[in-house]
A and B are shown apart, each in its own frame.
Chain A
């Protein structure tokens, strides 16, 4: 029992170290760069003004410095950043002033999380079943063909895959929309039309994630099954004349699922960062789009907010994964 407690405490410490290092990196890196975000914004601002009063510019610069958290000494700024992290308040967005950064992230998150969770789960189930069966019959021609497909899609990044799908299903055979999260003019509600519309728009983004995740999962599952199927208990089951379906399901796939649970939680941990580039391609209204707009407008608070939240979420997800794994795998004991 003491060992368990020690393990949990040390894992929590590691989680805090990760969050601390990540956020500190986010603090240091921008300050190493020679470009001040304040001057960039100021220049853009002043380009629109005919008359420039030096005093007013100074005042503007001061306000901007405060908004960006760039006021005072480096230590003051660093403390200020942590105050923001602990209060969970990253200030107002600079372009969509005065909407708080938190609210923007909160609005975008369900889109990203929904898409990622949904497609990760689907590809995980499909890949484990098909990969398991293909691994069991690994010398058949169709199993080889299946693994050739998986090896081909595995190295393609999901955003490249999504472009293929757009060309195919929005341009050459126009059955799906090129982008967007829902039809223009539709109000979010719990009606059937709205849900169907959202699913319709999410099909291609989800499909590109599913295909690429499928490739990776398939390859791992197949390798696991090929290892397991030479075990004695599988040989015995075969010798007993158990039906193949039962052997594959109860003896082989089930025993390979444990390591795959880790894989599943690892991919679920990436819901913040998993699909950002693809969202830009589809103009999908999730975090990726938000980040894209923030970058275009130099909305430093928003970029910082998204970075900090993604670091915290990944660190916490990794912690939960480590703590929960022994529940799934009885062979693992806390050390």
Chain B
């Protein structure tokens, strides 16, 4: 067991060395994780509060990213925003993926009417412009919005994407011999799906999870531009919202408005590189060519 794990680690390290863009993306993403989940807890005060630090200071040693016109420290605000945005991204991506995956597994395995119903439903949701529905919903409950709730709303309107992918994977797995062996040895459907099929689907899922995180965090920023997010919580979207609201561009507080812009761009780029690298790493055809190359 330990030898297989160490060979897996070695293999991964070799891939890291081989694929520079993937390593770059991973390093950037790790930096964001550390900023968001480690540094955010080191903040000397609640960065959401106003008038804690002098207003509208350009970046300096004391305030590395400057301060806002509301008297907030941009750096500490950024760490909190990264954390909350990533939580929204993970919930929005993960929960939606889970729903879509379960439906796709069931549709592919059961077939027949169940399959027909699930596919029609997911195709319908795929076509409906869900950003409009999210906006409609958020505009009605904006007073009650919170970070996890935002993630859940995004999840419940974007679950349809993975259904067809997972279904087609299951359709091909269903015809393989190990499925029959599993069924004849008395495994229940649930067990076959989760014990036998999950490992085959997992590579795709992990890449999709990261890709969907970009979408979910982007949706949060879209909502924020419309003023439809948790206004007193720190997220990348609300940071941008307040900077736009207080005309940071016209007053020349570039450090304030550029921080969420640059941070979200770099975060999205790093996630994209990671998901691209992951799908390449886990793609068996690419793996063979890598082995051939040494």
A interface residues with partner B (beta carbon < 8 Å): 14, 17-18, 21-22, 25-26, 29-30, 33-35, 37, 151-152, 154-157, 159-160, 163-164, 166-167, 170-171, 178, 270, 272-273, 276-277, 280-281, 291-292, 295-296, 298, 303-304, 306-307, 310-311, 314-315, 318
Per the bound structure, the CA–CA distance linking A270 and B226 in Å amounts to 19
Residues of B within 8 A of A29 (CB): 133, 136-137, 140
Residues of A within 8 A of B226 (CB): 277, 280, 291-292, 295
Per the bound structure, the CA–CA distance linking A18 and B82 in Å amounts to 36
The contact sample of 7 A-B pairs, CB cut-off 8 A, is: A22-B128, A22-B133, A163-B257, A163-B261, A291-B226, A295-B135, A307-B136
> Which chain B residue lies CB-closest to A170?
B249
User: Which of A155, A166, A276, A304 has the most chain B CB atoms closer than 10 A to its own CB?
Assistant: A155
Interface stretch among B39-47, B185-193, B195-203, B271-279? B271-279
Cβ contact within 8 Å between A314 and B268 = no
Cβ contact within 8 Å between B131 and A307 = no
> Which chain B residue lies CB-closest to A30?
B140
Query: A160 touches which one: B135, B144, B264, B273 (CB < 8 A)?
Result: B264
Residues of A within 8 A of B144 (CB): 34-35
Known: A310-B132, A311-B132. 18 other contacts (CB 8 A): A14-B124, A17-B120, A29-B133, A34-B141, A35-B141, A151-B273, A152-B269, A156-B265, A163-B261, A167-B254, A170-B249, A178-B249, A273-B129, A280-B226, A295-B226, A303-B139, A307-B132, A311-B129
B interface majority secondary structure = helix
Residues of B within 8 A of A151 (CB): 21, 269, 272-273, 276
B3 → chain A, closest Cβ, in Å?
36
> Which chain A residue lies CB-closest to B265?
A156
Cβ contact within 8 Å between A167 and B128 = no
> Which chain B residue lies CB-closest to A161?
B265
Residues of B within 8 A of A160 (CB): 221, 261, 264-265, 268
Cβ contact within 8 Å between B127 and A277 = no
B163 → chain A, closest Cβ, in Å?
15
Asked, given contacts A166-B249, A167-B257, whether A277 binds B272 with beta carbons under 8 Å apart, the answer is: no
Residue B30 lies at the interface, judged by CB distance under 8 Å to chain A: no
A115 → chain B, closest Cβ, in Å?
17
> Which chain B residue lies CB-closest to A20?
B124
Residue B227 lies at the interface, judged by CB distance under 8 Å to chain A: yes
Total A-B residue contacts, Cβ distance less than 8 Å: 131
Size category of the binding interface on chain B: 35 or more
User: Which of B221, B257, B261 has the most chain A CB atoms closer than 10 A to its own CB?
Assistant: B261
- B215-257 at interface with A (beta carbon < 8 Å): 218, 221-222, 225-228, 240, 244, 249-250, 252, 254, 257
Asked, given contacts A160-B265, A167-B249, A292-B226, whether A155 binds B271 with beta carbons under 8 Å apart, the answer is: yes
Per the bound structure, the CA–CA distance linking A164 and B264 in Å amounts to 12
Asked, given contacts A155-B269, A295-B227, whether A311 binds B261 with beta carbons under 8 Å apart, the answer is: no
- B88-135 at interface with A (beta carbon < 8 Å): 120-121, 123-125, 127-129, 131-133, 135
Residues of B within 8 A of A22 (CB): 124, 127-129, 133
Cβ contact within 8 Å between A157 and B221 = yes
Per the bound structure, the CA–CA distance linking A71 and B271 in Å amounts to 48
Query: A37 touches which one: B124, B137, B140, B218 (CB < 8 A)?
Result: B140
User: Which of B129, B218, B252 has the most chain A CB atoms closer than 10 A to its own CB?
Assistant: B129
Residues of B within 8 A of A156 (CB): 265, 268-269
Asked, given contacts A156-B269, A159-B222, A306-B132, whether A14 binds B214 with beta carbons under 8 Å apart, the answer is: no
Return the 5 tightest CB-CB contacts between A and B, nearest first: A155-B272, A155-B268, A22-B128, A273-B129, A277-B222
